A = this chain, B = another copy of it.
Amino acid sequence: MSEMIVMGTIALDTIETPFGKVKDVLGGSASYASLAASFFSKPGILSIIGKDFPNKHMEFLNKKGIDTNGITMGDKTFRWQGFYEFDMSEAKTLRTELNALESYKVKVPEHYKDAKYAFLGNIDPELQLEVIKSMKNPELIVMDTMNFWIEHKKDKVLEAIKKSDILVFNDGEARQLFNTPNLVKAANEVLKLNSKAVIIKKGEHGALLFTKDKHFSAPGYPLENIKDPTGCGDSFGGAFTGYLAKTQNLDEKNLRKAIIYGSILASYNAEGFGMEKLHTIKHEDINKRYKEFKDIREF
């Protein structure tokens, strides 16, 4: 069986930033999240690709111990092309080809259904709900979403939040979903939906965790050279959930640690184009940055 499910998109990304350009590299929320999770756990992907998907990417995922049996084969792989301007804060989309993703029907392999942990990356909330339904003994379901789904399928997003345990989204999405500029208020609205916890990702400003009576503020890592922020949020979510799957401990203190591991993987990810940096880092790099995270918030 797979220890954890990672659901989301697999894409071929073409990305341009002020520091360079890459074409048709492996991308998508499921790719980033499962790679980041693989440092801690054995994730099984749920996603769809096309016949044009390079075999080397599949081999790469398998080599990282990622179960790819839940990847359905469609016609053409989802493609995204975007760029980042000078301030690197926001991806501007140039082209989206949904391709196979458009008619994706989730097929959950039998050996995935006993997984106790899941990270449901940014994808149609109806697909997220199907995965939730398929899980026999879920202990922790973490979900992400994005502005597009909040705008077009808000009811389904809210339903998925209610059926998950932890919502991970960014500050802009938090403000959008609950129509408030105040993140504390937005977080409290999520908790009212019966969530165990809510995590608000703030990019360079770190991440916030809200539970019923506690609050945690994770610092951002001070990166002087950001090459490409694509996939940072997905890396965060995958590593966060993977660390919890590994430690099997859901108390608030351990959620805090998981957030730091999520932040570490996200910070490394921003240092390279596409997934190139996550290809090369080792456990000792993660441990080194964990100590740095301890130091930068000590007083």
- Footprint of B on A, CB under 8 Å? 86-89, 181-185, 188, 202, 204-206, 208, 210, 214-220, 222-224, 226, 253, 256-257, 259-260, 293-299
Contact = CB atoms under 8 A, between A and B. Distances in A.
9 contacts: A88-B181, A182-B223, A182-B224, A184-B223, A216-B296, A217-B219, A217-B297, A294-B299, A297-B297
Contacts of A223: 182, 184
A89 to B, nearest CB: 7
Q: How many copies of this chain are found per oligomer?
A: 2
A183 B208 contact: no
B224 A184 contact: yes
Nearest to A223: B184
Nearest to A179: B86
B217 A182 contact: no
A222 B185 CA distance: 10
Given A184-B223, A224-B188, A226-B182, A217 B87 contact: no
Contacts of A256: 298-299
Contact of A299 (B188, B215, B218): B218
A297 B259 CA distance: 11
A188 B224 CA distance: 9
B216 A299 contact: yes
A224 B185 contact: yes
* Closest CB pairs A-B (n = 10): A217-B219, A87-B181, A205-B205, A256-B299, A184-B224, A297-B297, A184-B222, A217-B296, A215-B222, A215-B296
Contacts of A202: 205
Contacts of A259: 299
A61 to B, nearest CB: 30
B222 A208 contact: yes
Contacts of A219: 206, 217, 219, 297
Nearest to A253: B299
B257 A299 contact: yes
